[in-house]
Amino acid sequence: MSDAAHAHPGHHTHPTGIMRWLTTTNHKDIGTMYLWFALIMLFSAGSMALLIRTELFQPGLQLVHPDFFNQLTTMHGLIMIFGAIMPAFTGFANWQVPLMLGAPDMAFPRLNNWSFWLLPAAGLMLMSSFLLPGGAAAGGWTMYPPLFIQGGISYDLTILAVHIMGLSSIMGSINIITTILNMRAPGLTLMKMPMFCWTWLITAYLLIATMPVLAGAVTMLLTDRNFGTHFFNAAGGGDPVMFQHIFWFFGHPEVYILILPAFGIVSQIIPTFSRKPLFGYASMVYATASIAILSFIVWAHHMFAVGMPVAAQLFFMFSTMLIAVPTGVKVFNWVATMWKGSLTFETPMLFAIAFVCLFTIGGFSGLVLAMAPVDIQLQDTYYVVAHFHYVLVSGALFSIFAGIYYWLPKWTGHMYDERLGKLHFWLSVIGMNIVFFPMHFLGLAGMPRRIPDYALQFTEFNQIATVGAFIFGFSQLIFLTVVLKTIRGGAKAPARVWEGAEGLEWTVPSPAPYHTFEVAPVLSK
Amino acid sequence: MKGTWQSGVGALALVGSGTALADYAYNLQTPASGVAQDVFQLHNLIMLVCLGIFVVVFTAMFYSLWKHRKSVGHQAAHFHENTTVEVIWTVIPFIILVGMAYPAARVVIDMKDTSSPDMTVKVTGFQWKWRYDYLNDGIGFYSNLSTPRQQIDGTAVKGEHYLLEVDEPMVVPVGKRVRLLVTANDVIHSWWLPAFSVKQDGIPGFIRDSWFKADQIGTYRGQCAELCGKEHGFMPIVVEVVSEPDYQAWVAKKKGAAQTAAADHGRIFEIAELMARGEKAYQANCAVCHQENGMGLPGTFPAIRGSRVATGPIADHIKVVMNGRPGTAMAAFGPRLSDADIAAVVTYQRNAWGNKMGDLAQPAEIAATRLRVAKASATQ
Q: Judge if B216 and B318 occupy the same domain.
A: no
What pLDDT score was predicted for residue B10? 42
Summarize pLDDT for B338-373 with one digit per residue, the tens: 888 888 889 999 988 888 888 888 888 888 888 887
Please provide the DSSP assignment of B7-39 as one string: HHHHHHHHHHHHHHHH-GGGSSPPP-BHHHHHH
Question: What residues of chain B lie within 8 A of the CB of A235, using their CB?
Answer: 205
Interface test with A, best of B232, B291, B297, B323 (most A CBs within 10 A): B232
Q: Which of B54, B154, B327 sits opposite A149 (nearest CB)?
A: B327
Confidence of residue B18 (pLDDT cuts 50, 70, 90): very low
C-alpha distances out from residue B35 to A317, A374, A377, A462, B240, Å: 18, 11, 11, 29, 18
Q: Judge if B165 and B246 occupy the same domain.
A: yes
What pLDDT score was predicted for residue B377? 66
Tell me the torsion sign for CA atoms A452, A456, A462, A463: positive
Q: Judge if B143 and B61 occupy the same domain.
A: no
Kindly report the CATH number assigned to the domain that includes residue B43. Answer: 1.10.287
CB contact under 8 A, B100 and A321: yes
Residue B3 pLDDT more than 60? no
Residue of A nearest to B103 (CA): A371
pLDDT tens, residue order, chain A (525 aa): 344 444 444 455 678 888 999 999 999 999 999 999 999 999 999 999 999 999 999 999 999 999 999 999 999 999 999 999 999 999 999 999 999 999 999 999 999 999 999 999 999 999 999 999 889 999 999 999 999 998 889 999 999 999 999 999 999 999 999 999 999 999 999 999 999 999 999 999 999 999 999 999 999 999 999 999 999 999 899 999 999 999 999 999 999 999 999 999 999 999 999 999 999 999 999 999 999 999 999 999 999 999 999 999 999 999 999 999 999 999 999 999 999 999 999 999 999 999 999 999 999 999 999 999 999 999 999 999 999 999 999 999 999 999 999 999 999 999 999 999 999 999 999 999 999 999 999 999 999 999 999 999 999 999 999 999 999 999 999 999 999 999 999 999 999 999 999 999 999 999 999 999 999 998 865
Expressed as residue numbers, the domain containing B318 is 264-379
Give the integer Cα–Cα distance in Å for A391 and B178: 39
Residue B116 pLDDT more than 80? yes
Kindly report the CATH number assigned to the domain that includes residue B347. Answer: 1.10.760.10
Interface test with A, best of B55, B56, B67, B70 (most A CBs within 10 A): B70
Task: Give contacts of B 351-370 with A, CB under 8 A.
Answer: none
From B227, B261, B295, give the residue that closes a domain. B261
In chain A, where the domains are located? 2-507
Q: Judge if B136 and B247 occupy the same domain.
A: yes
Q: Judge if B131 and B242 occupy the same domain.
A: yes
By annotation, the residues of A acting in catalysis are: 76, 105, 141, 168-169, 252, 254, 256, 267, 301-302, 327, 330, 449
Q: Judge if B371 and B348 occupy the same domain.
A: yes
Number of domains in chain B: 3
Buried b (16+ CB within 10 A) or exposed e, A137-169: bbbbbbbbbbbbbbbbebbbbbbbbbbbbbbbb
Q: Does residue B163 sit at the A interface (CB-CB below 8 Å)?
A: yes
CB contact under 8 A, A59 and B182: no
The arithmetic mean of pLDDT across residues B246-263, rounded, is 87
Q: Does residue B192 sit at the A interface (CB-CB below 8 Å)?
A: yes
Min Cα distance B249 → chain A (Å) is 31
Q: Which of B76, B160, B197 sits opposite A274 (nearest CB)?
A: B76
Q: Does residue B74 sit at the A interface (CB-CB below 8 Å)?
A: yes
What pLDDT score was predicted for residue A162? 96
Q: Judge if B153 and B90 occupy the same domain.
A: no
pTM to 2 decimal places: 0.88
CB contact under 8 A, A235 and B111: no
Residue B6 pLDDT more than 60? no
What pLDDT score was predicted for residue A326? 95
The domain A2-507 having CATH identifier 3.40.50.2030: the answer here is no
Interface test with B, best of A451, A454, A458 (most B CBs within 10 A): A451
Q: Judge if B247 and B270 occupy the same domain.
A: no
CB contact under 8 A, A343 and B108: no
C-alpha distances out from residue A117 to A39, A165, A419, Å: 15, 10, 35
Tell me the torsion sign for CA atoms A387, A389, A392, A397: negative
From B261, B279, B298, give the residue that closes a domain. B261
Residue B14 pLDDT more than 70? no
Confidence of residue B374 (pLDDT cuts 50, 70, 90): confident
Kindly report the CATH number assigned to the domain that includes residue B165. Answer: 2.60.40.420
What pLDDT score was predicted for residue B326? 77
CB contact under 8 A, B187 and A329: no
CA of residue A445 relative to chain centroid, distance: 30
Identify which of A299, A282, A292 has the alpha carbon closest to the alpha carbon of residue A258. Answer: A292
CB contact under 8 A, A275 and B300: no
Buried b (16+ CB within 10 A) or exposed e, A445-476: bbbbbbbbbbbbbbbebbebbbebbbebbebb
The arithmetic mean of pLDDT across residues B29-46, rounded, is 95
Question: What DSSP character marks residue B63?
Answer: H
Q: Judge if B145 and B233 occupy the same domain.
A: yes
ipTM given for this complex: 0.91
What pLDDT score was predicted for residue A524? 65
What pLDDT score was predicted for residue A44? 96
Q: Judge if B143 and B242 occupy the same domain.
A: yes
What is the share, in percent, of chain B residues with pLDDT greater than 90?
55
CB contact under 8 A, A144 and B227: yes
Please provide the DSSP assignment of B82-139 as one string: -HHHHHHHHHHHHHHHHHHHHHHHHHHHHHH---S-SEEEEEEEETTEEEEEETTTTE
Residue B267 pLDDT more than 50? yes
Summarize pLDDT for B286-337 with one digit per residue, the tens: 888 888 888 888 777 888 988 888 888 888 899 889 888 877 778 888 888 8
User: In terms of C-beta density within 10 A (0-12 exposed, 13-18 middle, 19 or more buried), how is residue A7 classed?
Assistant: exposed
Question: What residues of chain B lie within 8 A of the CB of A328, using their CB?
Answer: 89-90, 93
Identify which of B258, B265, B248 has the alpha carbon closest to the alpha carbon of residue B342. Answer: B265
Mean residue pLDDT of chain B comes to: 87
C-alpha distances out from residue B327 to A14, A71, A228, Å: 53, 19, 10
Min Cα distance A445 → chain B (Å) is 5
Q: Judge if B93 and B154 occupy the same domain.
A: no
Confidence of residue B379 (pLDDT cuts 50, 70, 90): low
Q: Judge if B278 and B368 occupy the same domain.
A: yes
